[in-house]
Amino acid sequence: MAFYLVTATPRSELLDELEFELREDAFADLRPFGLTLTRSLKNARQIESGQVVWEEEDYCQPPLAEEREAVLDRYFDDISFEVVDAGEGWMRIERLEPLFPALTAPRVRHFLLTPGPNIPNNPRLPVLYYPNVLPGERDGEQAFRTRLAAHGWSGVWIDGIYDYVHYHASAHEFLGVIRGRALLALGGPGGVEFEVQAGDALVLPAGTGHCNIDSSNDFLVIGAYPRGQQWDLCRVKQDQAPQASKIIAAVALPASDPLFGEDGPLLALWSVQQD
């Protein structure tokens, strides 16, 4: 098995047909590649040259031979590829505009932060990072507000992020970047530094230490919390984390993903961690 970052020129007159076929999962039963090809093409991205790119998992020699014969050569010209590690291709293209926005699955990266003596973080629930989650939206604030309201996240505020390490023990927090960019510290001392920019979003589980290390002058964020949760403000204090951990453990899971509702990635990822 190998992974390739594929670049191709779409035949514009057949894009509507391809989108319809993908929506109907018309290629899914093609063996052995149908499911992976369908998923990859649904998430293909556009580049300025007019070509499209996607990561493809492939089992045959020469590479993509079966996929080309059955599907790709009908819808694309100038097909080329380079070998990549699994997931590397998607990370390289995740900020590009999707070829089929209506079919694109929400992409989210997630990671756990280690608890410390003064910053509890969350030992069970990972931080969720949604890169370029609202492609093509001109009014980021309104787009975020609409989705948050639709999915039961409230307590909305518009501001920056504090430049000192803090956390919320009593609530999970959504942060969506409306404009600008910033370098954030997540997890407190020994944690990770994380760059975000307009269109990105984070969900921080209760207890996650965070602060703004550096940001552009226009950096602006929208924040929100699951309905019914009231946020507190906890700063770094020696030996406070064990007490805060008891509060954090009692915070309920949200009823839905803040951006994609009940079918979004939050419930799947956080429910698994609860088991």
User: Domain extents for the chain?
Assistant: 2-93, 109-274
Spatial separation of the C-alpha atoms in residues 136 and 83, rounded to whole Å: 29
Q: pLDDT tens digits, residue range 52-86? A: 999 998 878 899 999 999 999 999 999 999 999 87
Spatial separation of the C-alpha atoms in residues 166 and 232, rounded to whole Å: 10
151 and 257 Cβ atoms separated by less than 8 Å: yes
Range of lowest pLDDT (101-105, 162-166, 248-252): 101-105
**Three-state DSSP class for residue 194:** strand
pLDDT of 59 reads 78
Neighbours of 49 (CB within 10 A): 9
Residue 147, both tokens? 């989705």
Q: pLDDT tens digits, residue range 19-46? A: 999 999 999 899 889 988 998 999 899 9
Q: pLDDT tens digits, residue range 143-164? A: 899 999 999 999 999 999 999 9
Select the CATH number that applies to the domain covering 109-274 from these four: 1.10.3720.10, 2.60.120.10, 3.40.50.620, 3.10.129.10: 2.60.120.10
Q: Please, which residues bridge with residue 173 across strands? A: 204
Residue type, 64: L
Angle (CA) 42 128 195, round 5°: 95
Q: Say what the pTM is.
A: 0.68
Spatial separation of the C-alpha atoms in residues 5 and 56, rounded to whole Å: 6
Q: DSSP letters along 14-49, please?
A: GHHHHHHHHHTTTTTTSTTTHHHHHHHHHT-EE-TT
208 and 121 Cβ atoms separated by less than 8 Å: yes
pLDDT of 263 reads 80
Q: What fold, for 2-93?
A: Alpha-Beta Plaits (3.30.70)
Same fold, 2-93 and 109-274: no
Q: pLDDT tens digits, residue range 106-137? A: 778 899 999 887 899 999 999 999 988 876 55
Confidence of residue 241 (pLDDT cuts 50, 70, 90): low
Spatial separation of the C-alpha atoms in residues 22 and 37, rounded to whole Å: 10
Q: Please, what is the angle between helix 34-42 and helix 15-23, to 10°?
A: 120
Range of lowest pLDDT (45-49, 85-89, 117-121, 271-275): 271-275
